[in-house]
Chains A and B, each alone.
Chain A
Amino acid sequence: MTRPHPRAALALLGLLWLAVLAGAPLLGSHTALVRELLAGDPTARAIFWQLRLPRVLLALLAGGGLAVSGLSFQTLFRNPLAEPYTLGVASGAALGAVLALRLTEGQLLGFPLLTLLAFAGALAATGLVVGLGTRRRQGDETGTLLLAGIAVSLSCSALILFLQYLSDSTQTFRMVRWMMGGLSVAGYREVLWLLPWVVGGSASLLLLRWDLNLLLTGEELAASRGVDLGRLRLRILLLTSVMIAALVAMAGPIGFVGLMVPHILRRFVGHDHLALTPACLLGGGAFLALCDAGARVVMAPAELPVGVVTALLGGPFFLWLLLLRKPR
């Protein structure tokens, strides 16, 4: 296998990101957009600026946030299968969303109640998992965290099923649809809401570059060099979870991006978090924006939920990863 080239890979990812930003808004069920745009058609301009561009921007942010979160969870738990939803963020958010759909529709502070309840649910689930998982100060803390995450996820799923059972078919349909994940709600307000969480979270994780790299060499060694493991763990969990909560509240639980993108990028960028964190931000964003463009095109004029597209790619990807793995 060829050696990773972090600089070259980052430069290419930057170019890819820009290309997607410029190109993806042109793709969709309305195909003649380029020609109409050049002709100055007002409908085409509105579609481009008011519908497509914010949606692509949201995809770029959400995908980047998912990939960066997946990366830091994989490092923290030293587990290749860890992903942004490992600690039950998604099921907490889903529970909040389902609750909102069951109860009422409305707005608060300019945001749909659904978004706010999903955000609150995601934070509550993570808080519960972290609280439970770090209560015992001794022993295998990461293992306890994972188990607490599974327990909270299962409990949330049970409550969701219960709420679905109580709902009528229209509500149930909307609940199921929400859980597939999608970016169709996007306007600039959503983009602006997500921007600080994703950029701030990623930048803070980038500043933990050395700590995250040290975790790769083992907790014992990290502690001997002066890392406060308990505090570091908490910091990573909080940064990642808040970022994911904001994102899931907006776009629903979009799967596999946080799992796939870091694995793919490690082959080209290497394992140093200094390069890998921005690479995931760029690569994850470009990947999700492309998936979303695909979701708009394959069944046009109907739209697939983007979560379905990423999941359809995710399964085969993992088989491929399994088969390619170097025997040790």
Chain B
Amino acid sequence: MSGSPLLAARGLTWRSGARTLLGPLDLRIEAGECLMVVGPNGAGKTTLLRLLTGLLAPSAGEIRLRGRPFADLPRRERARHLAYVPQVRPSAVPLTVFEVVLLGRYPHLGPLQLAPRAEDFRAVEEALSVVGIGDLRDRPVDELSGGERQAVYIAAALAQETEMLLLDEPTTHLDARHQREVAALLLKLKAESGRTVVAATHDLNLASLLGDRLLALACGRVLAQGSPAEILRPEVLAELFGTRFAVVRGGERPVTLLELSP
């Protein structure tokens, strides 16, 4: 693992007033890997993702994309390398699925360009078919189920045609079946599209299933990082979340269970 990584952060820090909420932390993300950020509420997972997307400017430290400092990249160009799927979105989005996915092309459009080009339509069609929501294309997004809606935003991020995909809590607020569908979709993307994926999640089993590497964040600091087997151990999880877990093997990867009994 030598040479310039896709994304590298050094001394990355986020402060709010006098309080340091994240960092300083160093991070390397190699092209093609899948990094899952896990940790309790308030650990700084979303902040880290927003910093890596460029939505927040770090209080200290810097991020480099293939060796180029983030601060030197115009917003649109950054958006041609990184696509973000935020967790919080407006509940009523009246646009159709097709219109929302087409908006993923925004960073590729010229400032005076009113109509999309053929390559924009191609990218949208491809994204719709990879995600498998072609039949929903004319439905308004606010008529869809939570899982379908998540799939639409993932498709929009794919249409953005970036090397890297950042997802914030992709399965939170979904029931078991929709969690499974989104997880299957992300697994398929990882296997087929070769995109680099960074996701923050509460869902340790999703992290185990998808992650090449897990980053355990607690109180804004990196507690541990390593393979799922290295991180998803009862003693690490107990320290991370302050509660007891049982870990069983599910095929090749560890499956965690929260122990609720006193």
Determine if chain A interacts with chain B: yes
Q: Which residue of B lies closest to A80 (CB)?
A: B92
Task: Select the stretch in A33-41, A85-93, A110-118, A209-217 that faces chain B.
Answer: A209-217
Which of A78, A209, A216, A217 is in CB contact (< 8 Å) with B114?
A209
The reply to whether B86 and A220 form a contact with Cβ atoms under 8 Å apart is: yes
**Interface hits, B79-115 → A, CB 8 Å:** 79, 82-84, 86, 88-90, 93-96, 99-100, 103-104, 106-107, 109, 111-112, 114
The reply to whether B114 and A227 form a contact with Cβ atoms under 8 Å apart is: no
The reply to whether B89 and A220 form a contact with Cβ atoms under 8 Å apart is: yes
The reply to whether B160 and A218 form a contact with Cβ atoms under 8 Å apart is: no
Which of A209, A210, A216, A226 is in CB contact (< 8 Å) with B90?
A216
Within 8 Å of chain B (Cβ to Cβ): is A223? yes
Within 8 Å of chain A (Cβ to Cβ): is B47? no
Chain A residues with CB under 8 A of B160: 225
Within 8 Å of chain A (Cβ to Cβ): is B230? no
Within 8 Å of chain B (Cβ to Cβ): is A271? yes
B97-139 interface bits toward A, Cβ cutoff 8 Å, 1 = contact, 0 = none: 0011001101101011010000000000000000000000010
Q: Which residue of A lies closest to B100 (CB)?
A: A217
**Interface hits, A70-94 → B, CB 8 Å:** 78
Within 8 Å of chain A (Cβ to Cβ): is B202? no
Q: Which residue of A lies closest to B116 (CB)?
A: A210
Q: Which residue of B lies closest to A211 (CB)?
A: B106
| Bound Cα distance from A255 to B89, whole angstroms | 32
Known A213-B95, A216-B94, A271-B95; contact A225-B86, beta-carbon cutoff 8 A: no
The reply to whether B75 and A228 form a contact with Cβ atoms under 8 Å apart is: yes
Which of B96, B106, B114 is in CB contact (< 8 Å) with A274?
B114
Within 8 Å of chain A (Cβ to Cβ): is B253? no
The reply to whether A227 and B106 form a contact with Cβ atoms under 8 Å apart is: yes
Chain A residues with CB under 8 A of B55: 220, 223-224
The reply to whether A225 and B106 form a contact with Cβ atoms under 8 Å apart is: yes
Q: How large is the interface on A (under 10, 10 to 19, 20 to 34, 35 or more residues)?
A: 20 to 34
Known A217-B89, A218-B86, A272-B99; contact A226-B94, beta-carbon cutoff 8 A: no
| Bound Cα distance from A116 to B103, whole angstroms | 41
Q: Which of A78, A221, A223, A272 has the most CB of B within 10 A?
A: A221
The reply to whether B112 and A207 form a contact with Cβ atoms under 8 Å apart is: yes
| Bound Cα distance from A213 to B95, whole angstroms | 8
Within 8 Å of chain B (Cβ to Cβ): is A187? no
The reply to whether A226 and B107 form a contact with Cβ atoms under 8 Å apart is: yes
Chain B residues with CB under 8 A of A224: 53-55, 79, 82-84, 86
A184-224 interface bits toward B, Cβ cutoff 8 Å, 1 = contact, 0 = none: 00000000000000000000001101100110111011011
Chain B residues with CB under 8 A of A214: 103, 106
With A207-B111, A213-B99, A224-B82 given, can you name 7 additional A-B contacts, CB distance below 8 Å? A207-B114, A217-B89, A218-B86, A225-B79, A270-B96, A271-B99, A272-B99
Q: What are some 23 contacts across the A-B interface (CB < 8 A)?
A: A78-B90, A210-B103, A213-B95, A214-B106, A216-B90, A216-B95, A217-B90, A217-B95, A218-B90, A220-B84, A220-B89, A224-B54, A224-B79, A224-B83, A225-B76, A225-B106, A225-B107, A226-B74, A226-B79, A228-B75, A271-B95, A271-B99, A272-B99
| Chain A residues packing against B (C-beta within 8 Å) | 3, 78, 206-207, 209-210, 213-214, 216-218, 220-221, 223-228, 266, 270-272, 274
| Chain B residues packing against A (C-beta within 8 Å) | 53-55, 74-79, 82-84, 86, 88-90, 93-96, 99-100, 103-104, 106-107, 109, 111-112, 114, 138, 153, 160
